[in-house]
Structure 1
Amino acid sequence: MSELVIREDRDGCATLTLNRPEKLNALTIALFQQLDAHVEAIRSDPGIGVVVLRGGGKCFSAGHDLADIYEGEEPPEPNLQSLVIQKLADLPQPVITAVHGHCYTGGLELALVGDIIVASENAKFADTHARWALTPVWGISQRLPRRVGLPKAKEMMFTCRTIEGPEAAEIGLANMCVPDAQFEDQIQALTAQILENSWFSHRANKKLLLETDGMSMQAGLAYESYNTEGGGPDAYERMARFTKK
Structure 2
Amino acid sequence: MGELVVRTDHDGWTVLTLNRPDKLNALTVAMFAELREHVLALREDDRVRCVVLRGAGRCFSAGHDLSDIAAGEAVPSRGWHSETLRLLEKLPQPVVAAVHGHCYTGALEVALAADFLVAAADARFGDTHARFALTPVWGMSQRLPRRVGLATAKRLMFTADMIDAEEAVRIGLAEYVVPLASFDAEIEALAARIAANSPFSHAANKRLLDATDGRPLDAGLQWEVMEGEGRGPDMQERIAAFTNRKS
* TM-score normalised according to structure 2 size: 0.97
5+ long unaligned stretches in structure 1: none
Q: Which residue of 2 aligns with 1:199?
A: 199
Q: Which residue of 2 aligns with 1:9?
A: 9
1:100 shift after superposition: 0.3
Task: Give secondary structure in 2 for the equivalent of 1:33.
Answer: helix
Q: Which residue of 2 aligns with 1:146?
A: 146
1:234 shift after superposition: 1.8
1:197 shift after superposition: 1.3
Q: Distance in 1 between matches of 2:228 and 2:207?
A: 9
Q: Which residue of 1 aligns with 2:104?
A: 104
Task: Give secondary structure in 1 for the equivalent of 2:9.
Answer: strand
Q: Distance in 1 between matches of 2:52 and 2:99?
A: 10
Q: Distance in 1 between matches of 2:220 and 2:192?
A: 30
1:240 shift after superposition: 2.4
Deviating above 3 A after TM superposition, structure 1's stretches of 4 or more consecutive aligned residues are none
Give the AA of the match of 1:46.
Answer: D
Q: Distance in 2 between matches of 1:215 and 1:81?
A: 27
Give the AA of the match of 2:143.
Answer: R
Q: Which residue of 1 aligns with 2:19?
A: 19
Give the AA of the match of 2:210.
Answer: L
Q: Which residue of 2 aligns with 1:70?
A: 70
Amino-acid identity (%):
58
Q: How many residues align?
A: 245
Q: Which residue of 2 aligns with 1:86?
A: 86
Q: Give matches, 1:171-190, under 5 Å.
A: 171-190=171-190
Q: Which residue of 1 aligns with 2:41?
A: 41
Deviations 1:175-196 (A, max 9, x none): 1111111101110110111111
Task: Give secondary structure in 1 for the equivalent of 2:125.
Answer: strand
Q: Distance in 2 between matches of 1:111 and 1:170?
A: 17
Task: Give secondary structure in 1 for the equivalent of 2:6.
Answer: strand
Q: Which residue of 1 aligns with 2:115?
A: 115
Q: Which residue of 1 aligns with 2:210?
A: 210
Task: Give secondary structure in 1 for the equivalent of 2:231.
Answer: coil
Task: Give secondary structure in 1 for the equivalent of 2:205.
Answer: helix
Q: Distance in 1 between matches of 2:243 and 2:30?
A: 52
1:163 shift after superposition: 0.9
1:238 shift after superposition: 2.0
Give the AA of the match of 1:54.
Answer: R
Deviations 1:189-241 (A, max 9, x none): 10111111111111111110111112111211111111111111121222223
Give the AA of the match of 2:170.
Answer: E
**Is residue 5–residue 34 contact of structure 2 (8 Å, CA) maintained in 1?**
yes
Q: Distance in 2 between matches of 1:162 and 1:95?
A: 24
CA RMSD, 1 decimal? 1.0
* TM-score normalised according to structure 1 size: 0.97
Q: Give matches, 1:213-232, under 5 Å.
A: 213-232=213-232
5+ long unaligned stretches in structure 2: none
Give the AA of the match of 1:214.
Answer: G
1:74 shift after superposition: 1.6
Deviations 1:92-129 (A, max 9, x none): 10000000000000000000011120100100000000
Give the AA of the match of 1:100.
Answer: H
User: Once structures 1 and 2 are overlaid, which stretch shifts more, 208-217 or 37-46?
Assistant: 208-217
Q: Which residue of 1 aligns with 2:164?
A: 164
**Is residue 12–residue 192 contact of structure 2 (8 Å, CA) maintained in 1?**
no
Deviations 1:149-177 (A, max 9, x none): 11111111111111111111111100111
